[in-house]
C-alpha cells in the first residue's frame, strides 16, 4: 500500500496580486467551452449547505453551476426543522432539462432521501453519462439531524455508488454504508477503504475531520484511494464552530475543478486547500445563532 502526505498550511491573508493571479490561472485553464458543473441535491433554506453551498463553491472556483433540486429543507444554523421531498417525476424533468441543453462535464450528487429519488437520478445519469460523478452520501447534517431514510441506504449502495467516479463519505456516513462502528483512529479508517471500494466507486475520499476534533496534533487527516494506491491527506485542524456545509462544499469544490479540466488526483488536494481556507475564514462571517457556514468567498469579499 503506497501513500504520501500532502501538507495543508493555511494562509490567512491573500494579497490582491495573488487574487488576480488566481483568476488569470482560471482563465488560462478554460477552453472556449465554459466549464459546467451540475449539483443534484437538497436545498438548504439557511444558505450554508446543500444546493446553495454547491453553487457558491462552483462559482468561487471558476465553474458555471446548474442544479437539480431533490428536496426542500426548512433549515438554519441550529438544525433541520422539516424536509419536503420533490416528486421523482419532476426530478427527472429537471435532469432532462439541464442535460438536453447544457454541456455538463462533472456532476455532484448530495442529498437523496428516498429510494425512488435515488433510482431516478441513477437511471438519468446512466443515460446521460457525464465524464465525472462525485457522490457525497449525505445522511447526517452537521447538527446531527438524520437526513437519509433508512430504506434508502441499500438503494444508494446498489444503484448510485457503483456509477461514481468518487465518493466522499465522512466517518459517520462510511459507518452507515458499511454497517460497522464509526472509526476511532486512522488505522480503523484505513481498514474501511477496501470495503468502501468494494461498493463499486472508482475512487474514495474518506474524510476524517470528525476524528481530528479531539486530537492533540492539530491535524485533520483524510484518506484518498485512487483505485490503485492509498494517499494520506493532511491539513491543519481549525478550531471554529462555523463548519456548516463543509462536506457539501468540499465535494462541490472537487466537482468544479473536474469540470475545469483537473484530473481527480489534482482536484482533490486543490479542493482541500480551498475548504481549509473557507473554514479558516468562517469566523469573519456572522450568520445565525448556531453552527454557521464556511466562507465560500473568503478571497473576494
Annotated catalytic sites, by residue?
207, 243, 245-248
Grid-cell match 465525472, residue found? 132
CB 208 within 8 A of CB 185: no
Side-chain half-sphere CA neighbours of 88 within 13 A: 13
Task: Give the CA distances from residue 211 to residues 115, 137, 159, in Å, rounded to whole numbers and listed in that order.
Answer: 30, 18, 29
The SS3 call for residue 21 is helix
Q: How far apart are CA 291 and CA 250, in angstroms?
A: 17
Q: How far apart are CA 225 and CA 202, in angstroms?
A: 9
Residues of the chain by 3-state class (helix, strand, coil), percent to 5:
40, 20, 35
Amino acid at each position: 500500500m503506497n501513500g504520501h502526505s500532502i501538507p495543508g498550511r493555511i494562509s490567512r491573508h491573500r494579497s490582491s496580486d495573488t487574487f488576480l493571479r488566481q483568476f488569470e490561472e482560471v482563465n488560462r485553464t478554460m477552453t472556449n467551452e465554459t466549464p459546467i458543473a451540475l449539483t443534484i441535491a437538497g436545498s438548504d433554506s439557511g444558505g450554508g449547505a446543500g444546493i446553495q453551498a454547491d453553487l457558491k463553491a462552483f462559482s468561487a472556483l471558476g465553474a458555471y453551476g446548474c442544479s437539480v433540486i431533490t428536496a426542500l429543507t426548512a433549515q438554519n444554523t441550529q438544525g433541520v426543522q422539516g424536509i419536503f421531498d420533490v416528486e421523482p417525476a419532476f426530478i427527472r424533468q429537471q435532469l432532462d432539462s439541464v442535460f438536453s441543453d447544457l454541456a455538463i462535464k462533472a456532476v455532484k450528487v448530495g442529498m437523496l432521501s428516498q429510494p425512488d429519488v435515488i433510482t431516478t437520478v441513477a437511471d438519468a445519469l446512466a443515460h446521460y453519462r457525464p465524464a465525472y460523478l462525485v457522490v457525497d452520501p449525505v445522511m447526517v447534517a452537521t447538527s446531527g439531524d438524520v437526513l437519509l431514510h433508512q430504506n434508502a441506504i441499500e438503494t444508494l449502495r446498489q444503484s448510485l455508488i457503483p456509477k461514481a467516479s468518487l465518493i466522499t463519505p465522512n466517518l459517520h456516513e462510511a459507518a452507515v454504508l458499511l454497517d460497522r462502528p464509526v472509526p476511532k483512529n486512522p488505522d480503523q479508517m484505513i481498514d474501511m477503504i477496501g470495503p468502501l471500494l468494494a461498493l463499486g466507486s472508482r475512487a474514495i475520499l474518506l474524510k476524517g475531520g470528525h476524528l481530528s476534533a479531539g486530537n492533540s496534533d492539530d491535524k485533520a487527516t483524510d484518506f484518498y484511494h485512487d483505485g490503485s494506491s492509498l494517499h494520506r491527506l493532511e491539513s491543519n485542524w481549525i478550531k471554529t464552530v462555523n463548519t456548516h456545509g463543509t462536506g457539501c462544499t468540499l465535494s462541490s469544490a472537487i466537482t468544479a475543478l473536474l469540470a475545469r479540466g483537473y484530473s481527480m488526483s489534482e482536484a482533490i488536494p486543490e479542493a482541500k486547500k480551498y475548504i481549509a481556507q473557507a473554514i479558516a475564514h468562517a469566523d469573519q462571517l456572522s450568520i445565525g445563532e448556531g453552527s454557521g457556514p464556511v466562507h465560500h468567498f473568503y478571497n473576494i469579499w
